[in-house]
Amino acid sequence: MSLTFYWYPKCGTCRNAKKWLDKNQRSYKEIHIVENPPSKAELQDIYEKSNLELKKFFNTSGQKYRELGIKDKISTATEDELLELLASDGMLIKRPLLTDGENVTVGFKEEEYEKMWL
């Protein structure tokens, strides 16, 4: 199974996830989430396979999230509008985002990675 790892190199959590993948000898395709954010269609696919709420894909501690006032919009926006917003800027997406095309993890928790990716 081939892993796709969306990350932001300056993000400490992303670096920890990358270290975990390397330590556990998992091969992956690395994608800089800000320079090459997933498209709306890719996000839709990842979201549908994740079994998570769409709001879990937002980087709620990010400056961009606060600047755009997304917290106030998230409960009234449609799924389509939210996906459009996520696709518009990689900094809005919670990271790292890891998928093998069927399974998805958002963020990094070692226990979760062990269950999903070992």
Q: What is residue 31's three-state secondary structure? A: strand
> What is the predicted pLDDT for the residue at 43?
98
Q: What are the tens digits of pLDDT across the range 27-45?
A: 999 999 999 999 999 999 9
Give the angle 112-46-89 at the CA atoms, nearest 5°: 105
Q: Return the CATH number at 53.
A: 3.40.30.10
Judge whether residue 109 has pLDDT over 80. Answer: yes
Q: How confident is the model at residue 76 (pLDDT cuts 50, 70, 90)?
A: very high
Average pLDDT taken over every residue of the chain: 96
pLDDT higher than 80, residue 57: yes
How many domains does the structure of the chain reveal? 1
Q: What is the pLDDT of residues 86-103, one digit of tens each?
A: 999 999 999 999 999 999
Average of per-residue pLDDT across 38-58: 97
Determine the Cα–Cα distance for residues 88 and 100; give it in Å rounded to an integer. 23
Position 1 scores a pLDDT of: 66
pLDDT the model gives residue 63? 94
Is the torsion defined by CA of 58, 63, 66, 67 positive or negative?
Answer: negative
Distance (Å, whole) CA 72 – CA 23: 40
Q: What is the span of the domain harbouring residue 59? A: 3-117
**In the predicted model, is pLDDT for residue 81 greater than 70?**
yes
Distance CA 14, CA 19 (A): 9
